[in-house]
Amino acid sequence: QVQLVESGGGSVQAGGSLRISCAASLYTTNTKCVGWFRQAPGKEREGVAIIYTGDGGKALYVNSVKGRFTVSRENANNTVFLQMNNLKREDTATYYCAAGRAIACMVVKDQILPDGFDYWGQGTQVTVSS
């Protein structure tokens, strides 16, 4: 059974950095990427980055985090990281990772949609204060 566990969330001041992790128990043959999503109170869940499990670890980002966030992976441990730099108050949210099928692994009109991400972690809170 696929289980995803996020860790590393916390509180940081604006301009600071934080790295969160996503450890997967396993990937299925359908898993082609791992996505990072976030959800702030009263807002819809939005995708921020994806990384392919193959394809040399290609990463894609939405514009709001491009240049500030970096997603990477450690294949030996099925772990994916999200390094977040120059954090802003609007980055405050619960961050989730999810395992996605091929149809999900893309950015379309600056959006990463949750459709096709079959397995989700429980989330980790990131709070950015001014």
- Encode the chain (130 residues) as per-residue pLDDT tens digits: 889 999 999 999 999 999 999 999 998 899 999 999 999 999 999 999 999 998 788 999 999 999 999 999 998 999 999 999 999 999 999 999 999 999 999 999 999 999 999 999 999 999 999 9
DSSP code string of 76-87: GGTEEEEEE-S-
Quote the distance between the C-alpha of residue 94 and its chain's center.
10
Burial class (CB in 10 A: 0-12, 13-18, 19+), 108: exposed
6: number of Cβ within 10 Å = 22
Q: Are 120 and 96 in contact (CB under 8 A)?
A: yes
Looking at residue 22, its pLDDT comes to: 98
Which structure tokens are listed for 71?
């997603």
Looking at residue 56, its pLDDT comes to: 85
98: number of Cβ within 10 Å = 24
CA 129 – CA 75 distance, rounded (Å): 33
Looking at residue 73, its pLDDT comes to: 96
